[in-house]
Amino acid sequence: MKKLLASASALAAIVALAPTGAAQADELTLCWAAWDPANALVELSKDFEKASGTTMKYEFVPWPNFADRMLNELNSGGKLCDLLIGDSQWIGGSAENGYYVKLNDFFDKEGIKMSDFADATVYAYSTWPKGSPNYWALPAMGDANAWFYRKDWFENPEIAGEFKAKHNRDLAPPKTWTEFKEVAQFFQGRQIDGKTVYGAAIFTERASEGITMGATSALYPYGFKYENTPGKYDMEGAVNSADAVAGLEMYKEIYECCTPPGYTDSYMGEGLDAFKSGQVAMMMNWFAFMPGMVKDEQVGKVTGFFVNPSQKVAASTLGGQGISVVANTDNMEGALAYVKWFAQPDVQKKWWALGGYACHKAVLNDPSFKDSQPFAAQFLEAMGGVQDFWQEPAYASLLQAMQRRMHDYVVADKGTAKEALDGLIQDWTAIFEEEGKL
């Protein structure tokens, strides 16, 4: 990618000089994905509009098109977005190419402390290079992949009794992937209320990121790692370890044994549809959809939630995003003012109450937090063990390679798990060699 904008040091100087007092931009456009949390943010931001006199505009793009639309906007030097809530994987490329403003000087000036936000979210959503004290975003939307389940089916005495007789344990949300497979197989093809149901809705989507986000939910707990040594790109024996092979084999087994017919290219929306229509006992999806599910008129009252099952380790696939100031904005002052406002503990508390996933410790460490929503305790547990995809500038190419390898093996039934992971190392090695990192 070419450098379209000023250097990071020059941008930092611009931020340091930018006034953050009473004068505000008349209008700001915030870009994000089109989903329930975005609607909550519109409601939250009405307070900013009242306090600042700034009119907020929004560009919300459906998830299947979000990355292409926003990355094209950044790459082309467009001026649509003043603020962007972008995926964690974009941090590396956006920092190195000058698309985002480095926020260190601004944070220091305004007394915004990154230590006030959950460590995992700062690392994933804000830093580049990873783990360094170089901040390109404020943690905005904590998220992880998790599970929804039909409590009424699990608690049905007849169904629960049959499961216990078969497996000599209570029917309950599974703690491991081994247990998960048993539960999913138990429900597969079962007749409930005169309807054939299936074990689980999982991610199999090929075009964007779906099957990677799904497969890693099994790979991580089994011990999959991207590198043996962080920052060394030494993938052999990590990406294709025996444990990683076992995790990928498990994901394929779940796909083959326990999903609805024709479930070959499905992601968030398809999973929600399958669950709400009563097709599946369990659904893989993001915490972000849980507030909406609780309120759902069809199944809200009979829905429970559980964290991603462990196996060798407890781990969940990270979702979520940070909010960044787009360096090409004509409204730098107003954009920074919005970030300052959003970082306030009281605003973060209201963000959680409206259905957003606050990352501020003032919210997460509140003694009442775990009881504030039926999924709050699970969210805290999941965020303690999240793992994320590569956040390299070549993220898009790295993701496309994994999407192809995972879909070919899991859905198209091509080759073995070991061959898929070996091939992935070959793909990624070529990409990193082209990037000059190997």
Q: Kindly write down the DSSP assignment for every residue of 120-154, as one continuous string.
A: HHHHHHTBSSTTSS-BS-EEEEEEEEEEEEEHHHH
Q: What is the dihedral of CA 153, 157, 162, 167, to 10 degrees?
A: 80
Average pLDDT over residues 330-350: 97
pLDDT above 50 for 252: yes
pLDDT digits (tens, 9 = 90+) for 362-418: 999 999 999 999 999 999 999 999 999 999 999 999 999 999 999 999 999 999 999
Among 197, 200, 192, which Cα is nearest to 174's?
200
- The pLDDT value recorded for residue 9 is 33
Alpha carbon 112 to chain centroid, angstroms? 24
Domain ranges for the chain, please list them: 8-143+319-387, 145-317
- The pLDDT value recorded for residue 256 is 98
Burial per residue of 265-287, b for 16 or more beta-carbon CB atoms within 10 angstroms, e otherwise = ebbbebbbebbbebbbbbbbbbb
- The pLDDT value recorded for residue 22 is 36
Q: How confident is the model at residue 16 (pLDDT cuts 50, 70, 90)?
A: very low
- The pLDDT value recorded for residue 25 is 55
* Cα gap 34→53, rounded to integer Å: 25
Strands 195-196 and 191-192: antiparallel
pLDDT digits (tens, 9 = 90+) for 116-143: 999 999 999 999 999 999 999 999 999 9
Average pLDDT over residues 17-41: 76
Q: How confident is the model at residue 95 (pLDDT cuts 50, 70, 90)?
A: very high
Q: Do domains 8-143+319-387 and 145-317 have the same CATH topology?
A: yes
DSSP tag of 205: -
Nearest 5 degrees, angle CA 121-CA 126-CA 128?
A: 125
Q: Which residues pair with 56 in a beta bridge?
A: 28
* Cα gap 294→10, rounded to integer Å: 47
pLDDT above 50 for 185: yes
Please provide the average confidence, as pLDDT, over all residues in the chain.
94
**Tokens at 294, concatenated:** 């609780």
- Tokens 């979210």 correspond to 121
CB 341 within 8 A of CB 48: yes
In CATH, which superfamily holds the domain spanning 8-143+319-387?
Periplasmic binding protein-like II (3.40.190.10)
Average pLDDT over residues 197-215: 97
pLDDT above 70 for 19: no
* Cα gap 200→197, rounded to integer Å: 9
Q: How confident is the model at residue 345 (pLDDT cuts 50, 70, 90)?
A: very high
pLDDT above 60 for 165: yes
pLDDT digits (tens, 9 = 90+) for 189-203: 999 999 999 999 999
Q: How confident is the model at residue 4 (pLDDT cuts 50, 70, 90)?
A: very low
* Cα gap 308→33, rounded to integer Å: 24
- The pLDDT value recorded for residue 13 is 33
Q: What percent of the chain has pLDDT over 90?
A: 94
CB 82 within 8 A of CB 29: yes
- Tokens 């992935």 correspond to 424
**Topology at the third CATH level for domain 145-317:** D-Maltodextrin-Binding Protein; domain 2 (3.40.190)
Q: Is the pTM of this model over 0.85?
A: yes
- The pLDDT value recorded for residue 23 is 35
